[in-house]
Amino acid sequence: MRHILIADPDPETAAALAESTSRRNLELVVVQGADATLAALEGKEVDLLVADWHLPGLSGLALLDAVRARSPETSIVFCAAFGTVEDAVEALRRGARDFLCKPFAPEQLGLAVERALDSAKLVRENRTLRRALEERTGPERVVSSDPRMLRIAKIVQAVARTRSTVLLTGESGTGKTVLARAIHRASDRADGPFVEVNCGALPETLLESELFGHVRGSFTGAIKDRAGKFEEARGGTIFLDEIGTSSAGMQVRLLRVLQDRVIERVGDSTSIPVDVRVLLATNLDLKAEVAAGRFREDLYYRIHVITVEMPPLRERRADIPLLAECFLRRFAAENHRPIRGFTRAAMAVLEGAAWPGNVRQLENVVERAVVLCEGEDIDVADLPHDLAAAPDTSNIGPESLLAPGARLLPLKVALEGPERMLIEQALRSFGGNRERAAESLGINRSTLFAKMRRLGIHEPRSSPSSRG
Ligand SMILES: Nc1ncnc2c1ncn2[C@@H]1O[C@H](COP(=O)(O)OP(=O)(O)O)[C@@H](O)[C@H]1O
Ligand SMILES: [Mg+2]
């Protein structure tokens, strides 16, 4: 059932509407005057308002603004006996769906109503979709217990209420997009749009018109004027991802927006002011890009005011169980799987893995495991093999084991590397004499043989110092 409100003292309008829409599942309510119209909107959801342009009590435009403020989802169709073209243009520009001049045929009104209801439906569907998407992609907060991440959270709070440009760096999947959304949400622009553009995904010319818009005829295929993402993000935040690879031309345009807060559409030299907060992200080392001459130095300094570096997941392993549990709850609910948690062994694998794809990879691994898991707990078998595969320890020395961010290994596995090195060194020092090597290592010969077999040591590896 769709609800239509009719605010037109002229009985012809209601009659025409009743006639032209009789077969649809509609509820028509007639009200008198502007006050009654606004009051009727308070109480319930109205899909469409059909109003006279010269309603007693309020001018058409004032009514339009009042309705849009009160009930943004309500479509509006105006009817006017003495409307001017300027009135119609202004009303449509400010969001009215249609503007009919009286007298009109019932079918004309019927068509306008049909169109307005369809677009109202689209708007509503869009909103539902966006909400679903936000629930799916946007955790309300950045999940972390890592001190570096908590410091980042503080920076976010501090910069959120400013319009400062923030550069987010870090490997892919570390949560740059999540953080950009968090900055937007914490800002006083939270009610404005958040517009995200992946600058690495489009070729230069397309990207320029995507960001800045274009005027008709500025290139083949530009059949109408079109506003770009910067205009779309007015009053809100624009998040430009993968900024490191942008072309020279793009960089010039970006510098201009950041300096002067104005843009020009492609093919037009008119400056359009845009009140937009700019957030940028890159997984490249911009300083190196500057040194290599691929990134403008002046732009670099302009965007380098506040930089947030997202640490890779392997450098904040305490977050792994937190994130894993959080993803588990989400995917279990989404897929209606009654899964409780992870077995200890599975969690150990997660905590020990290298995570080159960072949080995104962990998220995918958990989603897959939730789908595959047949028991109550996710076990090692539900995880991808390569995650749990025995690591190659042949080159692991004490430094690499203790390096910051090094992969955590079970003690027994971790010690294999150093043990192998020591045995090989002893064998070399005694020219392959196993008895003396064993003696120097403080173990008996059979233990040495067993270890050599287990570690796959056959010959002493030659090294210059052992010769001669
Ligand atoms: N701290 C976090 N808490 C919850 N989810 C996160 C966090 N960091 C990343 N994610 C999730 O991991 C995925 C990748 O994050 P994203 O922000 O897109 O990374 P990036 O932009 O750095 O490539 C997203 O699905 C996101 O929801
Ligand atoms: Mg991203």
The pLDDT value given to residue 233: 94
Query: Rg (Cα) of the chain, in Å, rounded?
Result: 33
d(CA 143, ligand 1 centre) in Å: 9
Q: How far apart are CA 107 and CA 22, in angstroms?
A: 12
Report which protein residue has its CA nearest ligand 1's atom 9: 175
The pLDDT value given to residue 196: 95
Ligand nearest to the CA of 179: 1
Instruction: Tell me how far CA of residue 42 lies from CA of 4, 68, 73, 117, 196, in angstroms.
Output: 14, 12, 12, 19, 34
Report which protein residue has its CA nearest ligand 1's atom 12: 360
- The predicted-structure confidence for 166-225, as pLDDT tens digits, reads as follows 999 999 999 999 999 989 988 889 889 999 999 988 888 889 999 999 998 877 777 788
Computed over every residue of the chain, the mean pLDDT equals: 85
Residues at CB less than 6 angstroms from ligand 1: 137, 139, 142-144, 170, 172-178, 323, 359-360, 363
Q: 399 pLDDT band (50/70/90 cuts)?
A: low
d(CA 178, ligand 1 centre) in Å: 5
Q: Residue 65 — φ and ψ, nearest 5°?
A: -65, -40
**Residue found under tokens 């243009």:** 89
Q: Which two tokens stand for residue 376?
A: 């109550």
Please name each of the domains of the chain with its CATH number: 2-133 (3.40.50.2300), 148-309 (3.40.50.300), 314-388 (1.10.8.60), 398-466 (1.10.10.60)
Report which protein residue has its CA nearest ligand 1's atom 10: 175
Q: How far apart are CA 256 and CA 263, in angstroms?
A: 7
Q: Residue 48 — φ and ψ, nearest 5°?
A: -145, 135
d(CA 48, ligand 2 centre) in Å: 39
Q: How far apart are CA 287 and CA 293, in angstroms?
A: 10
Report which protein residue has its CA nearest ligand 1's atom 15: 175
- The predicted-structure confidence for 91-145, as pLDDT tens digits, reads as follows 888 888 899 998 888 888 888 888 888 877 777 666 666 555 554 444 445 677 7
- The predicted-structure confidence for 352-373, as pLDDT tens digits, reads as follows 898 999 999 999 999 999 988 9
The pLDDT value given to residue 138: 45
Strand bridging mode 271-273 / 262-264? antiparallel
d(CA 219, ligand 1 centre) in Å: 37
Helix, strand or coil for residue 410? coil
Q: Which residues contact 426 (CB under 8 A, 6 or more apart)?
A: 437, 438, 440, 441
d(CA 159, ligand 2 centre) in Å: 20
- The predicted-structure confidence for 267-318, as pLDDT tens digits, reads as follows 998 999 999 999 999 988 899 999 999 999 999 999 988 999 999 999 999 8
Q: How far apart are CA 431 and CA 439, in angstroms?
A: 14
